[in-house]
Structures are given as structure tokens and as C-alpha cells.
Homo-oligomer: A and B are copies of this chain.
């Protein structure tokens, strides 16, 4: 058996999310079906992050074990040929040690959330960004984001369905970066709680629109209560960007 790490891009719009589901298409099932067609082997593909329905990835990292002799390059080419027309593409593949694990070896995860500010509906960005129709106060958003960076109990920003043992997480980065069309929010941590990035971005939007002050963000965090959440942003704008591993 050879273990391969894959770097994967996908458009989350047609999928129920990363994880295999009985009731609809998933990115994981698309990759496992392609792997079966390429190798004749029934494999499980493990990812660094199990993204929700409608969430995208520019550089998801995943691994799978293959018995058939094949090079990393041929594997990526063959998977891409079988993935069509699903909007999932293997950008890179490499051999990794047998004890390397896309999820458990991962030491940092990086997300981007794209907000477009305009009155007009989106066209080709429909489902690929969150449209807000009122101007955003970016410095206020940055001040609000500052309250969340560091090690905290993120219960307020955690889905009721979150299965993590602890609500404690260390948020290494939460940057609000201006773009030509709005703002991009960059979030980095060793790991995130379920819905954490979308919940933080939803509240940052309230701060940007002047409906919350940066202090309200601090108060929401301190409340450690899901009921204190202002707004959960839709999946549309969220992209899993990349994952870091010790050897990298």
C-alpha cells in the first residue's frame, strides 16, 4: 500500500458537503468513486477539514491508500479524468509516509471568507461570495476581529451540532483585508469548531454595518452562549485555502 496526499480544489455548490452522505452528492464520494474507477480499489479518502454544504476549497488536503503501483502524477491525472464533470480537481499529489494523516497530522488550517458589497445581485459569483448591500466599516471589523484572536472558549461561535470535546480553540489569525469588491476575511487556527468561521464572519458583518460595536464582539465571546451569536454567515463565501503539516 502507498499513501498519497492530494491537494484538491472544489466548487461546493452542487455538494452536500465534504463528507459521504446517503442522501446526496459529496466531494468525498466523488473522489472515492474516481479512485475506484482508476484502481479497482474501494478506498476511504480522509480530509484535513470536513466542509459543509456549499463551502468551497482551493487547497483541501486529503489522503488515500492505494495498492496498485502508480506514480503520484499518474494518479492525479487519472483522478481528474474520472472526476469530470464534477467540479472537483486534484491540483497536486505526492507520496507520504504510512503514518501521515491528512486530518490528524495537520497543524494549521487556513480559510478565506469572501464578502462582496453591492446593491446588484451577483452573476457568476452567485454562491461563491456573500453579498451585503450596505457599506462596511473595515477598521471597525478589524477591531472586532482583534477581540477573537488568541485562546478562548468559542462556545458562542460553535454550532449546536459541533462534536468537538472542548470549545477551547486558539485563533491565530482573523484578518479583514480590503478587496476591489468588498472584503476578504482570513482565518487561521490549528483547528476550528463546527461553523466557527461562518459565525465569526457573521458577527464581523454586524460590526461592519454598525449594528454591533467591537465591544459587542468581545461581549458575545465572553457570553460563551450560542444564543449570544449575532449572525451565522452563509456557506457561499467560505473557502478552505490550505493546511499545514510538520514536514512542510
* Proximity bits, A2-13, B CB within 8 Å = 1, else 0: 000000011101
B121–A11 CB distance below 8 A: no
- Among candidates B87, B120, B128, residue contacting A76 with C-beta atoms closer than 8 Å: B120
Is there a chain B Cβ closer than 8 Å to A123's Cβ?
Answer: yes
A123/B76 in contact, CB under 8 A = no
Complex interface: chain B residues within 8 A of A11 (CB): 123-124
Query: Is A80's beta carbon under 8 Å from chain B?
Result: yes
- Measured in the bound complex, the distance between the Cα atoms of B56 and A10 in whole Å is 22
Q: Give the interface of A toward B (CB within 8 A).
A: 9-11, 13, 56, 76-77, 80, 83-84, 87-91, 118-124, 126, 128
Q: Would you list 27 pairs from A and B whose C-beta atoms are within 8 A, ordered by A residue?
A: A9-B120, A9-B123, A10-B123, A11-B123, A11-B124, A13-B124, A56-B124, A76-B119, A76-B120, A77-B119, A80-B119, A80-B120, A80-B121, A83-B121, A84-B121, A87-B123, A87-B124, A87-B126, A88-B123, A89-B120, A89-B121, A89-B122, A89-B123, A90-B120, A91-B118, A91-B120, A124-B128
